[in-house]
């Protein structure tokens, strides 16, 4: 989250991936950094132990959210 | 009785977002991965969907050596100079 | 921020109600705190030469800052006496070094706690315990310096469980994790001497400790047997990573190791050479990664790193060994690093003096 918000200060959009249990953590960092409503991708936990098909399924969910984040206000 | 407050008092910060992309077609993507298990694979899967569906190209995969420390400023600056948007992430 | 403008809470003159007030504000670790009344904070500040607004540490992700004043307030709440304060200040100066990465090590699911090891005469000066029940309760300095560390992480740096502190299980050291190195009967140079501080200067070492593993061995009577059991604990599948290690040798074990003529370096090398798992073994539990193997066996590999094995750490220097505990009992301990290997590297600072100040 920190990296995404820092990157956007350089003038380009970033899309940040987060798993569901970390949503509250991500929002907290965004709030502390002064961008409380910063949108991010949220997918099912975990990632580390996922099989390839499970990663693809999460990627599809993340992609749809990323598209909206990149094009949205 | 008077007590000192034990919490930090700092100035409230306000940051802005970068402007939205007008279109996705043909844009260059950077991936910033944190070295965690499956992190590069996961982010690459998402980027691949942008490649397949919007003709994007993946310019580079940037890695940071410490998953839980902010990325070095020079890494972010390099990425910002080279790509149209960045895909990154946290969490396991 | 000027000293006089620090935020003050005016509350009724009732001590028990004040303790409850601290709970209501979310300022505690779950245990009652000493209400941080002004004169106690001022007494704490008298032990620090810098002004109250001086910054000791900055959170790398949120930029929240720890001032001398805020440290003193939390030290009072934890129950510290003023003479403990220089240890706490030095500990956060050490944690502020970038390689300690105190954001990651305090936010992570890994659930580590900063272990403070105080070495040198200052530990005795303030009555710290380096002896019986080393990690247990009963000593005010050990208990409250460690507790103040946690209160600062919570109150100043806002590492709030469930929000910014995502420890899956945490560990008991997150209440307090502070010991002194035992000087009495210690055959090896103290840590503060190994760290090259001038004679008479004490130090505090901070290490993101991922828990506590007792190493029991009452039957062994050679260094190889004693350290062999320590190495086995260090290499258990749940703990082995490229991370650093802390080993606190019980005096009974130390007498066997040093009595055979082994130096700290000898012991470190033995532990590094023996705390290892085969590639096949690591694969059998799903924890093998090429990138980690390559890091350990690349061009800079230590000569004791055996091909085909993952060792704990990158070399013998990654293993801190100190003596501590009571005279009786074959109980040493191994404290693993925060779970993800080299995300945090242990640091140290001198106590109460300014040797390498900016």
- C122 and C240 in a single domain? The answer is no
Residue of A nearest to C168 (CA): A21
Strands (E) across chain C are located at: 8-10, 55-58, 65-67, 113-119, 178-180, 203-209, 213-216, 245-249, 276-278, 309-311, 319-323, 331-336, 347-350
Please report the pLDDT score of residue C5 as a whole number: 54
What confidence tier does C120 reach under pLDDT thresholds 50, 70, 90? Answer: very high
Q: Average of pLDDT values for C121-138?
A: 98
- C27 and C174 in a single domain? The answer is yes
Measured between beta carbons, which residues in chain C are less than 8 angstroms from residue A29? 61-62, 164
Measured between beta carbons, which residues in chain A are less than 8 angstroms from residue C339? none
Please report the pLDDT score of residue C4 as a whole number: 41
Please report the pLDDT score of residue C353 as a whole number: 85
Q: Which of A21, A25, A49 sits opposite C164 (nearest CB)?
A: A25
Please report the pLDDT score of residue C2 as a whole number: 37
Please report the pLDDT score of residue C3 as a whole number: 42
Measured between beta carbons, which residues in chain A are less than 8 angstroms from residue C164? 25, 28-29
Query: Strand order of the sheet with strand A13-19?
Result: A41-43, A13-19, B85-89, B28-33, B57-63
Measured between beta carbons, which residues in chain B are less than 8 angstroms from residue A32? 13
User: Of B6-10, C1-5, C92-96, C169-173, where does mean pLDDT reach its minimum?
Assistant: C1-5
Q: Which of B1, B35, B92 sits opposite C13 (nearest CB)?
A: B1
| Number of domains making up chain A | 1
Q: Model confidence over C190-202: pLDDT tens digits? A: 999 999 999 999 9
2-41 in chain C: CB under 8 A from chain A? none
Please report the pLDDT score of residue C274 as a whole number: 98
The answer to whether B90 and B34 are in contact (CB under 8 A) is yes
Burial class from Cβ neighbours inside 10 Å (0-12, 13-18, 19+) for residue C97 reads middle
Q: Model confidence over C138-167: pLDDT tens digits? A: 999 999 999 999 999 999 999 999 888 989
pLDDT reading at C1 higher than 60: no
Measured between beta carbons, which residues in chain B are less than 8 angstroms from residue C60? 69-70
Please report the pLDDT score of residue B9 as a whole number: 66
Measured between beta carbons, which residues in chain A are less than 8 angstroms from residue B71? 3, 6
CB contact under 8 A, B18 and A26: no
The answer to whether C81 and C126 are in contact (CB under 8 A) is yes
- C262 and C312 in a single domain? The answer is yes
**Token digits of residue C194:** 């190994």
Q: Model confidence over C27-63: pLDDT tens digits? A: 999 999 999 999 999 999 999 999 999 999 998 888 8
pLDDT in tens, chain A (73 residues): 889 999 999 999 999 999 998 898 889 889 888 899 999 999 999 998 899 999 999 999 999 999 999 999 8
What confidence tier does C287 reach under pLDDT thresholds 50, 70, 90? Answer: very high
Give the distance from residue A20's alpha carbon to the nearest chain B alpha carbon, in angstroms.
9
pLDDT reading at C332 higher than 90: yes
Please report the pLDDT score of residue B90 as a whole number: 66
Q: Give a yes or no: residue C19 inside a domain.
A: yes
Measured between beta carbons, which residues in chain B are less than 8 angstroms from residue C61? 69-70
pLDDT reading at B36 higher than 70: yes
- C36 and C165 in a single domain? The answer is yes
Mutate to test the interface with C, among A6, A29, A30, A49 (most CBs of C within 10 A): A29
Write out the residue range of the structural domain in which residue B57 sits: 28-88
pLDDT reading at C124 higher than 90: yes
Backbone angles phi, psi at C148, to 5 degrees: -60, -35
Write out the residue range of the structural domain in which residue C308 sits: 211-336
Q: Average of pLDDT values for C240-245?
A: 96
DSSP B21-54: PS--TT-EEEEEE-S-TTHHHHHHHHHHHHHHHH
Alpha-carbon C222 to chain mean position: 29
User: Of A25-39, B38-52, B63-77, C167-181, where does mean pLDDT reach its minimum?
Assistant: B63-77
Backbone angles phi, psi at C246, to 5 degrees: -120, 130
Strand partners, A12: none
- C38 and C150 in a single domain? The answer is yes
Write out the residue range of the structural domain in which residue A13 sits: 2-71
CB contact under 8 A, A32 and C166: no
Please report the pLDDT score of residue B44 as a whole number: 95
ipTM of the complex: 0.96
Mutate to test the interface with A, among C110, C163, C168, C340 (most CBs of A within 10 A): C163
The answer to whether C327 and C252 are in contact (CB under 8 A) is yes
Taking alpha carbons only, the member of C125, B66, B76 closest to residue A7 is B76
Measured between beta carbons, which residues in chain B are less than 8 angstroms from residue C109? 92
Q: Report which DSSP code applies to C161.
A: B
Tell whether C65 is within 8 A of chain A (Cβ): no
Q: Average of pLDDT values for B29-47?
A: 91
Please report the pLDDT score of residue A32 as a whole number: 85
CB contact under 8 A, C158 and A2: no
| Number of domains making up chain C | 2
Q: Give a yes or no: residue B11 inside a domain.
A: no
Q: Give a yes or no: residue C46 inside a domain.
A: yes
Residue of B nearest to C104 (CA): B68
Please report the pLDDT score of residue C151 as a whole number: 98
Tell whether B29 is within 8 A of chain A (Cβ): no
Q: Give a yes or no: residue B67 inside a domain.
A: yes
Q: CA-CA distance, C227 to B63, in Å (whole number)?
A: 37
| Number of domains making up chain B | 1
Taking alpha carbons only, the member of C148, C159, C176, C15 closest to residue C72 is C148
Tell whether B82 is within 8 A of chain A (Cβ): no
Of residues C72 and C106, which shows the higher confidence score? C72
Q: Give a yes or no: residue C203 inside a domain.
A: no
pLDDT reading at C221 higher than 80: yes
Tell whether B83 is within 8 A of chain A (Cβ): yes
- C19 and C160 in a single domain? The answer is yes
Residue of B nearest to C291 (CA): B35
Q: Average of pLDDT values for C336-352?
A: 91
Q: Report which DSSP code applies to C3.
A: G
Between the alpha carbon of residue B82 and those of residues A10, B27, B58, C205, C352, the distances in Å are 12, 11, 11, 42, 48
């Amino acid at each position: 989250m920190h990296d995404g918000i820092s990157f956007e200060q350089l003038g380009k959009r970033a899309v940040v991936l987060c798993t569901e249990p970390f949503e509250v953590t991500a929002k907290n960092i965004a709030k502390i950094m002064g961008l409380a409503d910063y949108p991010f991708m949220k997918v099912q936990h975990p990632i580390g132990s996922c099989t390839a098909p499970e990663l693809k399924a999460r990627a599809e969910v993340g992609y749809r959210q990323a598209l909206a984040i990149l094009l949205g206000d | 009785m008077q007590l000192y407050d034990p919490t930090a008092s700092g100035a409230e910060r306000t940051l802005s977002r970068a402007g939205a992309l007008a279109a996705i077609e043909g844009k260059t993507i950077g991936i910033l991965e944190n070295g965690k298990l499956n992190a590069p694979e996961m982010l690459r899967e998402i980027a691949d969907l942008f490649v397949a569906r919007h003709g994007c190209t993946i310019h580079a995969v940037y890695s940071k050596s410490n998953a839980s420390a902010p990325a070095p400023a020079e890494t972010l600056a390099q990425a910002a100079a080279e790509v149209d948007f960045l895909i990154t992430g946290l969490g396991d | 921020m000027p000293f006089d403008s620090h935020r003050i809470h005016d509350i009724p003159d009732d001590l028990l109600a004040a303790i409850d007030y601290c709970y209501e504000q979310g300022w505690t670790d779950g245990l009652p705190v000493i209400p941080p009344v002004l004169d106690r904070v001022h007494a704490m500040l008298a032990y620090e030469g810098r002004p109250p607004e001086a910054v000791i540490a900055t959170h790398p992700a949120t930029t929240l800052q720890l001032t001398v004043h805020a440290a003193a307030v939390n030290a009072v709440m934890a129950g510290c006496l003023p003479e403990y304060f220089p240890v706490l200040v030095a500990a956060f100066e050490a944690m502020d070094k970038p390689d300690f990465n105190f954001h990651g090590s305090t936010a992570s699911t890994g659930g580590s706690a900063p272990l403070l090891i105080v070495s040198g005469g200052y530990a005795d000066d303030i009555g710290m315990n380096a002896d019986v029940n080393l990690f247990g309760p009963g000593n005010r300095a050990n208990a409250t310096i460690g507790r103040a560390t946690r209160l600062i992480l919570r109150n100043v740096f806002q590492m709030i469980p469930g929000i910014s502190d995502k420890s899956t299980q945490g560990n008991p050291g997150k209440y307090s994790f502070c010991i002194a190195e035992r000087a009495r009967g210690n055959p090896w140079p103290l840590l503060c001497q190994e760290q090259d501080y001038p004679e008479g200067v004490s130090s505090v070492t901070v290490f993101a400790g991922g828990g506590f593993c007792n190493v029991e061995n009452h039957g062994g009577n050679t260094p190889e047997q004693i350290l062999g059991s320590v190495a086995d604990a260090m290499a258990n599948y749940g703990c082995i990573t490229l991370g650093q290690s802390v080993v606190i040798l019980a005096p009974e074990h130390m007498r066997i190791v040093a009595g055979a003529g082994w130096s700290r370096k000898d012991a470190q090398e033995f532990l590094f050479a023996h705390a290892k798992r085969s590639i096949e073994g690591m694969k059998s539990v799903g924890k093998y990664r090429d990138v980690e193997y390559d890091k350990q066996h690349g061009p800079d590999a230590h000569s004791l790193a055996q091909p085909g094995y993952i060792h704990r750490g990158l070399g013998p220097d990654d293993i801190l060994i100190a003596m501590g505990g009571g005279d009786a009992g074959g109980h040493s301990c191994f404290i693993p690093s925060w779970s993800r290997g080299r995300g945090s590297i242990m640091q140290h600072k001198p106590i109460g003096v300014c040797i390498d100040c900016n």
